[in-house]
Amino acid sequence: MAGTIVADTLTHSTAGSIATNYVVDGSAKAWVNFNGTGTIAARDSLNLSSLTDNTTGDYTASWSSALANASYSALYGAGVVAVISAQERLHTIAAGSYRIEMNEDNSAATDSSYVMLGIHGDLA
Amino acid sequence: MSTILVDNLTGKTSAGSITVTSEGGAATQSLQQGLAKVWGAFEQSGTQTFYDSFNMASITDLGTGLSQLTMSSIMSNANYASVGCSGEQSGGGNRVMGVRGSAGLTTSSIVFANYALSTGSISDDTRLSASLLGDLA
């Protein structure tokens, strides 16, 4: 049986101390790297239950363990294919999912071969 | 208040997996999986340099708007998520940065391309930030 340590602070011999709430609060609660072209698929992820292809450049990532609320932070990794830039933006945020849209410079919706998300906030 | 004096944290059942309880208490999650493995804030215009970084070995100027960041400890595969933002520290228009195609993303380095949205052209900027989430080797 694995043990459990209850502690408020971790102290390294040379690198300093950190309160354990920074470890818990500061860790990403979900992240994903997925291919948004064709049949979309995650290359790797944390806490991802499914990906939904809503329409061109429009995806929903659903979380296995929901966040405590819809006030969490989402960081993007905009996809860039060759030298054509694309940007991600929020469509809908919920405790259990995050829907994003990908657009080219001219605002046309576009699928991207690299779509990445990092989620920081409180798990339920 | 309790304090643990420790240099290394290693899982007992599985060395690479330590579980932490969620803020709300309803879920648990892997500590290692949620930690950023690499991050950096860097200057792209002029001589490219890091303002600050973690697990970064070097930065290479590959041309206008292009930066190759090389890691000290490499990732276990190239499937990690890279998130970040770009912009000029003082004014300037909207910017967008991203990985430069599949060739720009490897286990040991990543190439970012930065664009000015107003013109769609590749552009150097004074302040870019990136964080990598995934598995270390």
pLDDT digits (tens, 9 = 90+) for B21-42: 998 999 999 999 999 999 999 9
Is position A95 within any domain? yes
Is position A20 within any domain? no
Give residue A87's Cα distance to chain centre: 15
Interface probe with B: pick from A80, A89, A112, A117, most Cβ of B within 10 Å? A80
Note whether A51 and A41 are within 8 A (CB). yes
What range defines the domain where residue A73 resides? 28-120
For A42-89, write each residue's pLDDT tens digit: 999 999 999 999 999 999 999 999 999 999 999 888 665 554 556 777
For residue A69, the distance in angstroms to the closest alpha carbon of chain B comes to 10
Cβ contacts of B77 on chain A, cutoff 8 Å:
44
Q: Is there a contact between B81 and A31 if contact means CB atoms under 8 Å apart?
A: yes
pTM: 0.89
Give the pLDDT of residue B115.
Answer: 82
Is position B41 within any domain? yes
Count how many domains chain B has. Answer: 1
Size of interface A-B (CB pairs under 8 A): 153
Give the pLDDT of residue B91.
Answer: 60
Alpha helices, H only, chain B: 31-34
Mean pLDDT (chain A, rounded): 88
Lowest mean pLDDT among A9-23, B48-62, B88-102: B88-102
Question: Which DSSP symbol is given to A38?
Answer: S
Is position A103 within any domain? yes
Its ipTM equals: 0.85
What range defines the domain where residue B46 resides? 36-133
Is position A65 within any domain? yes
For residue A109, the distance in angstroms to the closest alpha carbon of chain B comes to 15
For B35-72, write each residue's pLDDT tens digit: 999 999 999 989 999 999 999 999 999 999 999 999 99
Is position A14 within any domain? no
